[in-house]
Structure 1
Amino acid sequence: MNDTIPHLTAGAAALLAEPKAGRIRAMRSRRWVLYPRAKQALYRLDGLLEHPRGTRMPSIAVYGDSGMGKTMIMKRFRDQHPPSFDKSTGALTTPVLAMEMVSRPGERRFYGELLTVLGAPQSPRADITQMEQAALRIMDAIGVQVLVIDEVHNILAGTYREQRIVLNTLRFLSNRLQISLGCFGVNDAREAIGGDVQLARRFEQFTLSRWAANEEFETLVASILRNTPLHRPSVLTPKSLRRILQITDGITANIFHMINNLAIEAVEDGSERITDSAIDTWAPDFDVEAIYA
């Protein structure tokens, strides 16, 4: 805990020395705020890295409505386990490899995206077998342990045959390389992964449900406020918390957006805290692209 500014984290407190424009820029930027539900998801993902290599590796599927923070959790997991380079051996190790499911699934497009993420040169004349072998060779060489895939619901954009091929490809990669999969997507992704029964059985399901009026939601709001560089503490009543839920519909991205905008207003008008009256009169604006999806 910060001894001089107890209502803020050390990082947020350090931003108080910035001019108003600098603090507002920080509030508008993408930033990570750890809250219990995200911590639980990261704990389960870390468990995949710790699992001994073998056949039928366990995997996890993180589901939730758009804006519930799936991509932020995926990127946090990736960033916590970055590639490392051993100067003595010249070997690069990448324990977590992250990619996004292609918008229209197909074996060639999938391997093309995977090779792009791996930084591998691709010949336009390469056939699928050559692309597959290149991906296997590189992933094995760099020691990939977990392949995380965002927007996995995109599988449903393909025909039934294309869906089956992509799911078979995921199962093949997991089996051949003895790696775990971490899949992220909206709730429709359950149907996508469920298209392969053998693959679906390997997945633990973790759902990011919309927020409700409970202690967990209060902890989320408190975590955001502690990471928001305002000079004065914001003490909110239960009525204000209920209004935040009502306006945001319990969507994580909307909650961040609302609190950030209220904080910016507090900086601009000099009040330096979010008040109950500011929450009561705040007009929602969620037409902008959610930056915490």
Structure 2
Amino acid sequence: MSGRAHLAPEIVPILELTTDERIEACNLDRWIGYTRAQQIMQQLDQLLLYPRTLRMPNVLIVGQSGNGKSSILERFCHRHPVQVTSTGTPIAPVLHISMPETPDETELWSLILWSLGISHGERAPASIKKREAKSAMTYAGIRVLAIDEFNNLTYAGRRAADLLALIKGLSNDLKISIVAAGTQAAINALNSEPQMKSRFEPAALDRWRLDTDYLRFLASYERFLPLAQPSNLASRELAPVIYGMAGETIGGTVKLLKAAAVKAIQLGREHIDTGVLKSTDFVRKDGWDDVMRRI
């Protein structure tokens, strides 16, 4: 077992599985509680302890595409699942939805109802859906409405202001907090309604740098890759290569590490080194420019 000290205990048995099963394990999503993610998680947890007041606190998780916003939001929701009391009453602290690509009021109310598992007439007037949604949210004891892809509000055009007013009214009427996640465009959407913007506390996910936090993340992630030998991803040799290939987002790094682990298994190497990294079929986000020049 000492030869497996580089792995988390639950990963060790995976080494005995078939190649296909190990590859599948490589591609699973893993939660790594890096420093900034933990700070934001604590900030979100505090919302559930906040008393119901006239002006509830809201949080906007904002960062580049692929930098972990949705993962933090999903983790927060997973930590506070729906529970059922002894009398059969549901308690749902957090309701999670995603802003539609072309949002409007009636679709947003439908999303809330479907997320609560409530069938309804999708062609019903927005006023009826609103009444049903607010009643259901009250019954379920919702404390936080989590909205992913908040930046899609910029595609709503003139309806964006109405949707922001809808969200503000929902927070005011039900005394719930709003947690939104989106790219920089989410800030632009809020800029159109300064009063609504003032209700949000920004929680920024900065671009990653090749620093101690990044090295710590690499070391933590390595523990979940089912490879029999240590790779020392945080070493002076490999960390700069990984960072140079993956770019400044956590999503790019995770995508590269998954691909490299799969390639290592396929090659029978059982660890990731520079050769394995260079042999992966990986294109970083800004690598599309190079692809365009080659075709």
Deviations 1:194-250 (A, max 9, x none): 322222112111111221110011011111111111111112432421221111121
CA separation of 1:228/1:124 partners in 2, compared to 1, >3 Å: closer, same or farther?
Answer: closer
CA change 1:24–1:191 in 2 (3 A) is same
Amino acid of the structure 1 residue aligned with 2:60: A
Aligned residues of 1:218 and 1:241 also touching (Cα < 8 A): yes
Residue 75 (structure 2) pairs with residue 76 (structure 1) = yes
- Structure 2, gaps ≥5 residues long: 286-295
258-267 vs 139-148, which moves further: 258-267
| Residue 183 in structure 1 maps to residue 189 in structure 2 | no
Corresponding residue of 2:93: 95
State the partner residue of 1:291: none
C-alpha separation in 1, matches of 2:97 and 2:248:
28
Q: Which residue of 2 aligns with 1:155?
A: 153
Residues 1:258 and 2:264 are matched in the alignment: no
Change in Cα spacing, 1:124 to 1:217, as seen in structure 2 (3 Å) is closer
Q: Verify the 8 A CA contact 1:240 1:280 in the aligned structure 2.
A: no
Alpha-carbon separation, structure 2, partners of 1:57 and 1:155: 21
Equivalences for 1:1-293 in 2 at 5 Å? 5-86=4-85, 88-124=86-122, 126-160=124-158, 162-236=159-233, 237-279=235-277, 282=280, 284-286=282-284
CA distance in 2, matches of 1:74, 1:248: 23
1:6-51 Cα shifts (integer Å, max 9, x gaps): 2111222232232222111111233333322222221111111121
Asked if the contact 1:140–1:177 (Cα under 8 Å) also holds between the matched residues in 2, the reply is yes
Q: CA RMSD in A?
A: 1.9
Between the two proteins, the alignment pairs up a number of residues equal to 284
Residue 192 of structure 1 and its aligned partner are, at CA, apart by: 1.0
Structure 1 pair 92–242 and aligned structure 2 pair: CA distance change class (3 A): same
Query: Residues of 2 paired with 1:259 and 1:276: CA distance?
Result: 12
Percent of counterpart pairs with the same letter?
30
Report if aligned partners of 1:62, 1:206 keep a CA contact under 8 Å in 2.
Answer: yes
Query: What amino acid sits opposite 1:146 in the alignment?
Result: V
Describe the shift of the 1:189–1:124 C-alpha distance in structure 2 as closer, same or farther (beyond 3 A): closer
Closer/same/farther in 2, CA of residues 133 and 188 from structure 1, 3 Å limit:
same
Range with bigger deviation, 221-230 or 232-241: 232-241
Distance 2:259 2:201 in 1: 36
How far does the alpha carbon of each residue in 1:77-131 deviate from its partner, in whole angstroms, 9 at most, with x for none?
A: 1111110112x31101110000011111221121122112122222255322221
* 8 Å Cα contact 2:259/2:281 also seen in 1: no
Indicate conservation of the 8 Å contact 2:259/2:282, yes or no.
Answer: no
Deviates more, 1:136-145 or 1:253-262: 253-262
Letter matched to residue 180 of structure 2: C
Question: Which 5+ residue runs of structure 1 have no aligned equivalent?
Answer: 288-293
Distance 1:124 1:258, change over 3 A: closer
CA distance in 2, matches of 1:279, 1:56: 50
1:3, distance to aligned residue in structure 2 (A): 6.7
Q: How far off its partner does 1:261 sit?
A: 1.5
Q: Any conservation in 2 of the 1:167–1:195 contact (CA below 8 Å)?
A: no
95-104 or 187-196: which moved more? Answer: 187-196
